[in-house]
């Protein structure tokens, strides 16, 4: 099982000092946090995507590529990549490149985001959010698995003879998690492709998360990807720790009370009782996290939010120290105990390569001459006496694919 942290990249005033960090300070702090996550023995660092203040992370792949160069074991991912407003061609290119520069230490979480105005900023209609998510992923899925793609859908220009470059490392695409808080169609999409499902799990009660995970597991089995217990599940969570509970509650209360995401609403006590937020000692974090298994089953990835709401870098690093020294070692041992043999580990590039090729050598991509949008062969205008001209772009017939992929059958 993998353990790690995620950040939403907020730039928030520290309510105890009245100071708001600059963008530069917050970005550098995040890089420090990611490197320290590896140093204390965590497995995963995840970075969100936002295109509006007070968030800074508009280009997660750029940041993750830098972190890849500063680390050696940390798995890098997103939380989330906007499948609705990013072009699937650019997602395919960016994450294949990140695969190469990180040595395969990358996967991604796809989602629709929670900022409505982002849609028109990128020329999209929020009323088409779900169809966009379905169609864009159908194309992304193919771009990573087919060297030459002919495609036509509703929301972007057609592709004819298109090859996404670079090709995925070892011919194996990055593993995809589909992230959602409340949308059953996303759980269905993840299940239909046999991908992972990540329940954010930070604002809603356990009963809601339980229903979403149960739906995903049921549909995963229905689509023939394995048993319900073999479905790939990730959970989010929020923690704040001190050595004893009283200090944790005292120190975190001003941050909770003023946080943009949940401040001025339910009390800290009500929120910790009704959601996965844990504010207390390391043992309380251990106990509550182990309880997640009671209602979602054995799962593969646990990520915590620890750096939001204006918390200073020093405090966040202290949280990482407690996670690495006192919490995660116990959770690794406890989650491994009585774990059924059929429950798989979290996918990694190495495990996906092994599943794809067995004892054979991984495929090494070589350049191919295309015939359409990104023609790489001879120029169609060169001297016909020297070499027969390639067909002009657009001359090949366009193959029309389903706008919704496998999920269209639901």
Q: For the segment 286-306, what is each residue's pLDDT rounded down to a tens digit?
A: 999 999 999 999 999 999 999
* Mean pLDDT on 391-398: 38
* Mean pLDDT on 314-320: 98
CA-based nearest residue to 279, from 296, 260, 259 = 259
Least confident of 123-137, 141-155, 201-215: 123-137
Residue 383 has pLDDT above 60, yes or no: no
> How does strand 44-47 pair with strand 149-151?
unpaired
Handedness of CA 63, 69, 70, 75 (dihedral sign): positive
Report the SS3 class of residue 120: helix
Confidence (pLDDT) at 261: 75
CA-based nearest residue to 362, from 175, 98, 169 = 169
CA-based nearest residue to 104, from 81, 79, 75 = 75
Task: Tell me how far apart the alpha carbons of residues 318 and 334 are, in angstroms, rounded to a whole number.
Answer: 23
Neighbours of 318 (CB within 10 A): 15
Q: Where are the domains of the chain?
A: 2-365
Confidence (pLDDT) at 118: 77
CA-based nearest residue to 178, from 169, 164, 191 = 191
Please tell us whether the domain made up of 2-365 is placed in CATH 3.40.50.150: no
Give strand pairing partners of 159. Answer: 151
Mean of all residue pLDDT scores within the chain: 88
Tokens 């940390």 belong to residue: 74
Residue 172 has pLDDT above 60, yes or no: yes
* Mean pLDDT on 61-83: 95
HSE (CB half, 13 Å, CA atoms) of 206? 14
Whether omega before 299 lies within 30 degrees of 0, making that bond cis, reads no
* Mean pLDDT on 350-378: 78
Helices and strands (DSSP H and E) totals, the chain: 13, 13
Whole-prediction pTM value? 0.88
* Mean pLDDT on 126-146: 90
pLDDT > 90 fraction of the chain, expressed in percent and rounded: 69
Instruction: Decide: residue 32, CB within 10 A, 0-12 exposed, 13-18 middle, 19+ buried.
Output: middle
Alpha-carbon dihedral 158, 61, 327, 29, rounded to 10 degrees: -150
Confidence (pLDDT) at 382: 36
Confidence (pLDDT) at 327: 98
CA-based nearest residue to 219, from 210, 231, 236 = 231
Instruction: Decide: residue 321, CB within 10 A, 0-12 exposed, 13-18 middle, 19+ buried.
Output: middle
Task: Tell me how far apart the alpha carbons of residues 155 and 150 are, in angstroms, rounded to a whole number.
Answer: 15
Q: Give the E-state strand segments of 193-313 in sequence order.
A: 196-199, 233-235, 239-241, 278-280, 301-305
* Mean pLDDT on 309-331: 97
The model's confidence at residue 110, banded by pLDDT at 50, 70 and 90, is very high
Residue 397 has pLDDT above 60, yes or no: no
């Amino acid at each position: 099982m993998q353990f790690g942290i995620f950040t939403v990249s907020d730039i928030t005033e520290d309510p105890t000092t009245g100071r708001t960090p600059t963008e530069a300070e917050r970005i550098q702090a995040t890089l420090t946090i990611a490197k320290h996550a590896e140093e204390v023995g965590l497995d995963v660092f995840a970075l969100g995507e936002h295109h509006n203040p007070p968030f800074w992370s508009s280009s997660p792949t750029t940041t993750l590529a830098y972190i890849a160069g500063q680390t050696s074991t940390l798995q890098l991912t997103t939380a989330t990549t906007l499948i609705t407003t990013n072009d699937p061609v650019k997602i395919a290119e960016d994450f294949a490149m990140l695969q190469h520069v990180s040595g395969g230490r990358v996967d991604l979480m796809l989602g629709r985001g929670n900022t409505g105005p982002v849609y028109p900023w990128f020329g999209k209609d929020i009323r088409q959010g779900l169809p966009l998510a379905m169609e864009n992923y159908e194309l992304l899925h193919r771009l990573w698995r087919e060297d030459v793609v002919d495609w036509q859908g509703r929301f972007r220009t057609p592709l004819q003879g298109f090859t996404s470059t670079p090709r995925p490392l070892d011919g194996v695409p990055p593993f995809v998690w589909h992230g959602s808080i409340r949308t059953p169609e996303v759980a269905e999409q993840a299940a239909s492709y046999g991908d992972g499902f990540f329940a954010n799990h930070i604002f809603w009660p356990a009963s809601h998360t339980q229903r979403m995970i149960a739906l995903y597991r049921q549909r995963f089995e229905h689509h023939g990807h394995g048993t319900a217990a073999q479905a790939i599940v990730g959970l989010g969570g929020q923690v704040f720790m001190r050595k004893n509970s009283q200090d944790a509650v005292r120190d975190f209360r001003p941050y909770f009370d003023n946080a943009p995401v949940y401040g001025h609403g339910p009390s800290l006590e009500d929120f910790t009782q009704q959601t996965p937020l844990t504010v207390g000692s390391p043992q309380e974090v251990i106990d509550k996290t182990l309880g997640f298994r009671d209602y979602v089953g054995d799962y593969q990835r646990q990520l915590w939010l620890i750096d939001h709401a204006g918390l200073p870098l020093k405090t966040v690093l202290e949280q990482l120290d407690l996670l690495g020294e006192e919490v995660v070692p116990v959770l690794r041992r406890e989650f491994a105990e009585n774990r059924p043999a059929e429950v798989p580990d979290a996918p990694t590039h190495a495990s996906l390569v092994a599943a794809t090729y067995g004892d054979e050598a991984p495929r090494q991509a070589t350049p191919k001459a295309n015939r359409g949008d990104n023609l790489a062969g001879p120029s169609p205008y060169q001297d016909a006496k020297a070499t027969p001209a390639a067909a002009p772009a657009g001359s090949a017939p366009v193959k029309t694919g389903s706008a919704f992929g496998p999920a269209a059958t639901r």
